[in-house]
Structures are given as C-alpha cells and as structure tokens.
Amino acid sequence: MVRTRQSNSKPVETLPRTVSNWEKPVRTPHPAPGSTASEPGDPGVDPAPGQPRYQDPPWGQVWRTTARVLARRWRLRVVVGAVVLLAIASLALGYRVLFPPSAEPAAPARPQVPRSDPGPVVAPPDPISAADVARAQVAQWIVDNVGTSGVLACDTATCAELEALNYPATALVPLTRDNGEIRSADLVVVTAAVEALLGPRLAQLTAERPVAVAGSGEATIELRVVAPDGPVEYRRRANADLRDRRSAGTQVAQVTGLQLDPVAAEQLRSGQVDARILTVLPALLADHTLTVQGFSASPAEPAGAPLRVLDIARVDGADVSAEHSGTAAVIRFLNAQWPPFLPASTHLMDGSDGQLLRISYPAPSPLGLLGTG
C-alpha cells in the first residue's frame, strides 16, 4: 500500500507587484451607466487579477527625476547656444578681414549731373611733370640768352639738361651734398633741390632779384646772380648802375642822327636800357644814322631788368635788309667787338612794319660798365 507523503509546505502567498511611475497602470474603468460611482477618496475598484496595483512614487524620487530631465534639456540648450555664438563670431571675424574698416569715413558721392557734351577730360597738374617742364624751359632759356661764357651752378638734373643742349660741361658746377659751394659760379639755377641743399646760405650768396623765372607755384625755378659779397652790396652796385644808365641814356637820346619811337626815348631817359647798348650806340651813330624801333627783354625776365635787346628799323635812311650796305656795315661792326660788348646775336627778322635788325646781348647785364658802379 502506497502512502502518500504529505507535504509540510505551505502555499505561497502571492504579493501584489508594485510598479513605478513610468509604467502605465491599469486604472479602474469609469463606472457603467447606472452603476454607483465610488466616493471621493475611494481607491476605486480593484484591478483585475494578475494586474499590478498603481502606487504614487515618493516626492523625493519625483524631484530627482524632474531635475535630471531639466538638466539634460539645459545642457542641450547650452551646447546649441555655444555653437551658434561661435558661428556668429567666425562670420564677424571673416567680414572684418575681408572688408577692413577705413580710417576716415567715405565722402558722400557727388550727384551726377547729366551732360549732353561732357567735353575733354582735363587731368590735374602733376607737380613732378611741371618741375620737369620748368627745368627744360630754364635750360633752353640759358642756352639762348646767357651764352656759354657764364659759369653756372646747378643741381645734377639741371646740369644734365644743360649738357644735353650742348652747354659746355666745363662751365657747369654740379651741386651735391659733398659740394655745395657756389662762389666759383657766376649764376645759380635755383630749384627745390638747390634750396634744400643750400638752405639759408642761398639768400646770403645771391642777388635778391632773379635774372629769369620759369614755371610757377612749387615748380618755380629761378636763375640768380651769385653775389659773393652778399645781396646788400650787390643791391648797392645795382642802384649805382641804374643812376649811370639814366645819365648815359639821357645823353644818347639827344645825339644827332638817332631817331627814336616815343616809348624808346622814354626807356633811354629812365635808365631802362642795358649799359652795353648805351656804350655801342654812340659809336654806331658816329658813322650812321639810325631809326630805333624799341628796346626789350625776354618774357622770362622780371620787370625792372635792363633791356638788352635793340631793334633797328632803318640805317642811313633806308630800311634794313640783307642787301643794304649800311645794314651789313652795322652787323660787321657789332660782330667785331670784344666781350662784354660782343652781342649774343645779330639777325634780321620780320616786324609789324617790315624787317628789323635785332641785336641781343647776353644775360645778365653786367654792372659798372659806365664807370661809377
């Protein structure tokens, strides 16, 4: 007979399973129509067998979970904000590199006025090219009016310009930083470079009035007489020479055989005529009768400079011409003179009323030829 062994074990008591707040609990359904609703505070109908009963989590756990969620969201926002700020900063830096701000605000644009004919475009004057033009002008004037007998001090550029025009290199004194001495020269070409090189010594060693002027403004170039004894002494001698020219000119104007235009007569009496002409005219009048059209100077010479150009219209009562014997005799006489009475040029030219015999003496006019200077 088989005995059945009785087990001493007790049946296992099934405990209800709790769920967290993240699991979806089984809620008691709404009461059916006609059923009695639970009273407030009633936990409701028990869940079906096998379903966990919902329990509210403790408040500490709720606060910790909420803090973690918010922290994760704020970290994401901070990271995104940092990336955006970095991108903006990179764009701003790139813009400043590509388009740097100017030191001065841009001037407002001028309103454009429509024109039917814009006309030629005139470029503003270039100081450098203006100085080059003035240098070329003064070099050509020196060759045409000073001759090759005067010794010239000049900067290297002007000396090169003169040599290109066949002015003797032996009559040039190039001025450099190592050689700024002008006392050995008769004239000095005053450019901006020479003014910077000589400084105050330039005014102490040159005459106050220039012999000739070329250019204008910052490109002005002057040709001045070198005055080793200073400008004051040179002015004293020039004033004495003017008095001598007035006296001699008044006497020449009264010589028989000389016919003068009214303007030319006044030029003689006021001492405006060069002393060399005042010396040569009486010698010519001893053998010829002359009709003088006038006395003049070149446009580059300043007002008050002695008039060193003589224009003769008639010799011995006849108009000057290459075929006239009297004209040829005057030319031979003048070309036979010695410096300083030898003219720079004697030639026939067309005047307003016929041909003229033009006699030109080199610049500058020497002082003291008439005796008291």
Question: What is the predicted pLDDT for the residue at 117?
Answer: 47
* Beta strand pairing call for 354-360 and 309-315: antiparallel
Cα separation, 46 vs 93, whole angstroms: 68
Please answer whether residues 75 and 38 qualify as being in contact, where contact means their C-beta atoms are separated by less than 8 angstroms. no
318-345 average pLDDT score: 96
Are the C-beta atoms of residues 278 and 248 closer than 8 Å to each other? yes
Q: Is pLDDT above 90 for 118?
A: no
Residue 149 pLDDT greater than 60, yes or no: yes
**What pLDDT shows up at residue 114?**
47
Tell me whether residue 143 is exposed, middle or buried, using C-beta atoms within 10 angstroms of its C-beta: 0 to 12, 13 to 18, 19 or more.
middle
pLDDT > 90 fraction of the chain, expressed in percent and rounded: 59
Torsion of CA 142, 147, 149, 152, to 10 degrees: 10
Distance, CA of 278 to CA of 85 (rounded, Å): 95
Lowest mean pLDDT among 32-46, 143-157, 212-226, 344-358: 32-46
Q: Is the pLDDT reported for residue 41 higher than 60?
A: no
pLDDT for residue 127 is more than 60: no
Query: What pLDDT shows up at residue 131?
Result: 87
User: Distance between CA atoms of 308 and 359, rounded to whole angstroms?
Assistant: 8
Separation CA 357–CA 331 (nearest Å): 9
What mean pLDDT is predicted for residues 136-158? 92
Q: How far is residue 228's CA from residue 206's CA, in Å, rounded to a whole number?
A: 7
Task: Work out the pLDDT band at 73, boundaries 50, 70, 90.
Answer: low
Given this model, what pLDDT does residue 366 score?
94
How many Å apart are CA 118 and CA 112, to the nearest integer? 12
The CA distances from residue 37 to 29, 42, 44, 204, 295, in Å, are: 11, 9, 9, 129, 142
Q: How confident is the model at residue 69 (pLDDT cuts 50, 70, 90)?
A: low
pLDDT of residue 120 exceeding 70, the answer is no
User: What is the helix (H) or strand (E) element at residue 188, kind and residue range?
Assistant: strand 187-190
- Separation between Cα atoms, residue 184 and residue 151, nearest integer Å: 8
Question: Per-residue DSSP letters for 91-146?
Answer: HHHHHHHHSPPPSSPPPPPPPPPP-S---PPPPPPPHHHHHHHHHHHHHHHHHHHT
Q: 43: pLDDT confidence band, cut at 50, 70 and 90? A: very low
pLDDT for 72: 63
pLDDT at residue 92 in the model: 66
> In the chain, what are the helix, strand and coil shares in percent, each to the nearest 5?
35, 15, 45
Q: Which residue has the higher pLDDT, 199 or 26?
A: 199
Distance CA 6, CA 9 (A): 9
pLDDT digits over 269-300, tens only? 999 999 999 999 999 999 999 999 999 999 99
17-26, 51-60, 279-288, 295-304: least confident range: 17-26
Distance in angstroms (rounded) separating the CA atoms of residues 249 and 260: 12
For the cut 70, the answer to whether the pLDDT of residue 175 exceeds it is yes
- Structure confidence at residue 86 (pLDDT): 72
Tell me how far apart the alpha carbons of residues 350 and 346 are, in angstroms, rounded to a whole number: 13
- The answer to whether 200 and 295 have CB atoms below 8 angstroms apart is no
The span from the CA of 83 to the CA of 347, in Å, is 94
Could you state, in order of their start, the residue ranges of all structural domains in the chain? 127-228, 245-360
What number is the average pLDDT over the span 33-48?
A: 48
Residue 152: per-residue pLDDT: 96
In the DSSP assignment, the letter for residue 169 is: G
Asked if pLDDT for residue 341 goes beyond 80, the answer is yes
Contacts of 240 (CB under 8 A, 6+ apart): 367, 368, 372, 373
* pLDDT for position 37: 46
Let me know: does 211 contact 305? Beta carbons within 8 Å: yes
Query: What pTM did the predictor assign?
Result: 0.65
Confidence category of residue 97, pLDDT binned at 50, 70, 90: low
Position 129 scores a pLDDT of 79
What SS3 class is residue 339?
coil
Average pLDDT along the chain: 81
Mean pLDDT over residues 349-356, rounded? Answer: 92
User: How far is the C-alpha of 298 from the C-alpha of 310, rounded, in Å?
Assistant: 12
What does the pLDDT look like over 201-242, one tens digit per residue?
A: 999 999 999 999 999 988 999 999 999 999 999 999 999 999
Does residue 266 have a pLDDT over 60? yes
